[in-house]
Amino acid sequence: MTLEPGESTVITMLIAILPIFITAYILYLVRAIRGPTIADTVLAIDAFFFDVTVFVAVLGLIFKQPIMMVVAMLFALWAYALDVYVAKYLERGEMGD
């Protein structure tokens, strides 16, 4: 009774997902470069880094390195910090207080 998918099967299933993510990343970067205003660029970079989080987590499963999840968590927090800083700068025009 070998019902459980083996190691090579799971890794093949994970690698089959990755081209969809990479296509989405290229489209996000196209919007980030083309964006007419700074708000469009920041929105595209924000969505891009929330999804780089997922990409790093899947790579951690493929390479069997669970410590890569720590880096993924930092990516998510950094994207939120970028949003808040740019919003503060646009609203007040300064970064002091």
Partner 1 sequence: MYMWLNISKEVKWVINTILIYLGWVLLLIGAVADLIAAIGLNRFPKFFVRLHAATIGTIGGAFYPLLGVALIAFGAEFVGPYRFFMGGAALVTAFLILLLAPAGSHALARAAHRSKLVKPEPVVVDHLEEDGGGE
| Number of amino acids touching partner 1 (CB under 8 A) | 56
- Give just the sign of the alpha carbon dihedral 51, 49, 79, 68: positive
CA-to-CA dists, residue 45 to 11, 66, 96, angstroms: 29, 26, 24
Site string for partner 1, 5-44 (x = CB under 8 A): xxx--x--xx--x--xx-xxx-xx-xx-----xxxx-xxx
List Cβ neighbours of 59 (8 Å cut-off, separation of 6 or more).
68
| Rounded-to-integer distance, Cα 40 and Cα 31, Å | 8
Extract the tokens encoding 13. 């299933």
Is 80 a binding residue for partner 1 by CB under 8 A? The answer is yes
Among the listed residues 50, 94, 96, 97, the single contact to partner 1 using CB under 8 A:
50
Contact positions toward partner 1, by CB under 8 A? 1, 3-7, 10, 13-14, 17, 20-21, 23-25, 27-28, 30-31, 37-40, 42-44, 46-47, 50-51, 53-54, 57-58, 60-61, 64, 66-67, 69-70, 72-73, 76-77, 79-80, 82-84, 86-88, 90-91, 93
